[in-house]
Structure 1
Amino acid sequence: MARLPSLTFSSFLLLLLTLTLLTGPTFAIKFKLRAYRYPKPKCIWNPVHNNALVIVTANVGAGEGQQVDVEIVDSSPQKNQYLSKKNINGETRLAITSHAEGEVGVCFTNSLDKGYPSEKSSEATRIVDLDVDIGADAVDYNAIANQESLSGLETEMRKLEGMVKEIVDEMGYLKQREIRFSDTNLSTNKRVQNFAWFTVLLLAALGVWQIVHLRSFFKRKYLID
């Protein structure tokens, strides 16, 4: 029996790099959040799959006379609201598990205090540094390694296992979407064919009716026998 070639360290690193590129990235954004008396939420949306771990890390800068609130929701028909936290300052770490396919939105509002001077309201802003980790990127493998006393290689293998599972789930999701789109195309094609046949039959019936009507009209006028 032929012997399978062993996996060298360079091949292992290449496989790790390939899987890392295939998995979803970490979403990071930094922006200014302006304060209002009655603020509207500013939402950052990220695509997620069902039952995916999502870690949100928000670092809110200082701002006198302002209150920043955060809420995590999704874009599903149910409009799930996962959590809401008021008056966050500094670094805040939030973790949720998605309940549906779609997008998860991290929504911020920055409210001015009642005693804040009106002439300075246009200058009231706070800096928000937001990181959103989804799926395998959200798992703290260092904590798992410390808890289970894993070696460095075992930790990397655990990361690879999580990445491979995420890729398999992604492929399964794409397969389901392809099946759904194929069913939609077949259904649409069938409806178009049925409408075309209905149109042909309707035109044929209209032509027969016109012939009968004209024949009857000509007979009344004694133009034909």
Structure 2
Amino acid sequence: MTRKFFSASVAISMMVLATTLLQPANAVKFDLAGQDATNPTPICLSHYVEDETQVVIKVRAGAGPHQKVTVEVRDDSEDQNQLWRKENLADELQRGAFLTKRAGDVVACFTNTLTEGYKPDSRYVRVIDLDFDIGVETIDYAKLAEAEKLKPMEVELRKLEDMVQDILDDMDHLQRREERMRNTNESTNARVQWFSTLTMCVLVVLGMWQIFYLKRFFRKKRLID
């Protein structure tokens, strides 16, 4: 019995590991230079997210004197709706959670402004850690296990189930996109065929008209019988 349980645990762990490796990496780390507060240029990063999807953005700004880091998260719609904003980012991890209303890019823009009296210099740089958690990645399984009184094995199975469902949803989305692209290509191909046929008909008609017109012209000039 113990051997079977151990084998099942290893199998589930391997499946969880394999499924995790299929998930895209959403974390990024970069240096953000300090700028003059009058006209700072934001540094923006984006991530594509489906509609009605839970998103959690985790961000941390490394220590740096005389600098104020602000992050603003918006969608890529015409209105550029603000989804989350945080000023004075510190070395402590900050979390922003929201639900997307439409499919598209979620854009996070960072600005690092210097306090009055300080000018941009290579010394004034803060390290930014940014992480996008999307969909199933936002689930807190520790709280879920406590609320539903799940055993460790049941938690792992729940994780595996959610990951597999997330992958299936992505595959379904890709299949729908492929169908739309195929329909667009078929529609374009049909229009090109009709246009080519119409062009050939017009050319044939014009050619016959030119022949008829030239024959009449030459006969009037008595150049041909």
TM-score tier (shorter) = 0.7 to 0.9
1:78 CA displacement: 5.6
What is the match of residue 3 of structure 1?
A: none
Report the count of equivalent residues: 217
Secondary structure of 1:150's partner? Answer: coil
What is the match of residue 201 of structure 1?
A: 201
Aligned partner (choices 79, 85, 94) of residue 96 of structure 2: 94
Q: What CA distance in whole angstroms lies between the structure 1 residues aligned with 2:89 and 2:207?
A: 75
Q: What CA distance in whole angstroms lies between the structure 1 residues aligned with 2:116 and 2:217?
A: 86
Counterpart contact for 2:12–2:157, Cα < 8 Å: no
- Percent identity over paired residues: 41
Inter-CA distance 121–14: structure 2 relative to 1 (3 Å threshold): closer
1:65 CA displacement: 2.2
What is the match of residue 60 of structure 1?
A: 61
What is the match of residue 138 of structure 2?
A: 138
Structure 1 stretches of at least 4 aligned residues deviating more than 4 Å after TM superposition = none
Counterpart contact for 1:63–1:124, Cα < 8 Å: yes
Q: Write out per-residue CA displacement over residues 75-108 of structure 1, whole angstroms, 9 at most, x where no aligned residue.
A: 3556343122222222211112222223222211
What is the match of residue 27 of structure 1?
A: 26
Secondary structure of 1:39's partner? Answer: coil
Inter-CA distance 105–205: structure 2 relative to 1 (3 Å threshold): same
Q: What CA distance in whole angstroms lies between the structure 1 residues aligned with 2:50 and 2:79?
A: 15
Counterpart contact for 1:26–1:133, Cα < 8 Å: no
Secondary structure of 2:136's partner? Answer: helix
Q: What CA distance in whole angstroms lies between the structure 2 residues aligned with 1:114 and 1:220?
A: 94
What is the match of residue 45 of structure 2?
A: 44
CA RMSD of aligned residues (A): 2.1
1:197 CA displacement: 0.5
What is the match of residue 214 of structure 2?
A: 214
Secondary structure of 1:219's partner? Answer: helix
What is the match of residue 155 of structure 1?
A: 155
What is the match of residue 103 of structure 1?
A: 105
Q: What CA distance in whole angstroms lies between the structure 1 residues aligned with 2:64 and 2:183?
A: 53
Q: What CA distance in whole angstroms lies between the structure 1 residues aligned with 2:116 and 2:12?
A: 59
Give the unaligned 5+ runs of structure 2: none
Give the unaligned 5+ runs of structure 1: 1-5
What is the match of residue 164 of structure 1?
A: 164
TM-score, normalised to structure 1's length?
A: 0.87
Q: What CA distance in whole angstroms lies between the structure 2 residues aligned with 1:78 and 1:154?
A: 44
1:8 CA displacement: 2.9
Inter-CA distance 78–194: structure 2 relative to 1 (3 Å threshold): farther
1:122 CA displacement: 4.4
